[in-house]
Structure 1
Amino acid sequence: MTDTWKTINSLASNLSSRSQLPIEQQWLVQVVKLQEECGEVAEAAIGALGENPRKGFSHSWDDVRSEACDVIVTGMVLLARMGGDPEWFFREHLRTLAARPTNQPKEA
């Protein structure tokens, strides 16, 4: 995952260096960008099912996968732009999620 986080941190740094907004407004813009990407994955899923009467089957399931990747990367960039150690924070959050009772195997 280290190479992944190097890439994410580089993307985050590049975006931050281009912005003239105060830091918390930069975070807010990144949150809005994340929401935009969520909308795109939803649009792709609707298109893969052919459920938009105007567009029909406008997307494939690979398009949905690609848009889901954009959501993940954008979320990771948000985490990186907020400072601290995003890799540690993400790893600890995954541990918390994995430890929830709903993630434990059922007893026989």
Structure 2
Amino acid sequence: MDDTAWDTIDSLVRWLDQGSEVPDDTRVLLQLLKITEEAGEVAEAVIGATGTNPRKGFSHTWDDVRNELCDVIVTAMVALARLTPDAREVFAANLRRIAERSDQS
């Protein structure tokens, strides 16, 4: 992932923390919970895109699903940035580990 994305995440963290009176450890916990909230919105969008809720029918599109997935990714990146000052390196190392593990050649 390029540094531009992480620069944006760092900026979002600063913006979210600006003027907040919530203790740092509580911010991290709330951010971790926020990932679950966003994942629920992905599920809601998938159900809406497939029309499987008989009460709501086709209430979402696959574009909505894609947008909600991006919200999950950004929320998780913010959580990682709040959890460790080395978020970029931690993410890069884990991505390399996953890529190596998945290489079946």
Give TM class, smaller chain.
over 0.9
TM-score calculated relative to the size of structure 2: 0.93
Give the Å deviation of 1:23.
1.1
CA contact (8 A) 1:19 1:26 kept: no
**2:96 paired residue number:** 95
**1:10 paired residue number:** 11
| SS of match in other structure, 2:11 | helix
CA offsets per residue over residues 33-89 of structure 1, 9 Å max, x none?
111100000000010000011100001111100000000000001111123221111
**2:104 paired residue number:** 105
Give yes or no for the alignment of 1:76 onto 2:77. yes
Q: Provide the alpha-carbon RMSD of the alignment.
A: 1.1
Structure 1: state its 5+ residue gaps: none
**1:56 paired residue number:** 57
Give the Å deviation of 1:19.
2.1
Aligned counterparts, 1:36-55, within 5 A: 36-55=37-56
Structure 2: state its 5+ residue gaps: none
Give the Å deviation of 1:16.
1.9
Give the Å deviation of 1:105.
3.1
Mapped to 2, the partners of 1:66 and 1:20 lie a distance apart of 30
Q: Give the residue type in structure 2 aligned to 1:12.
A: V
Q: Give the residue type in structure 2 aligned to 1:27.
A: V
Q: Give the residue type in structure 2 aligned to 1:58.
A: S
Which range moved further: 60-69 or 15-24? Answer: 15-24
How many residues align? The count is 104
Mapped to 1, the partners of 2:19 and 2:73 lie a distance apart of 22
Runs of 4+ off more than 4 Å: none
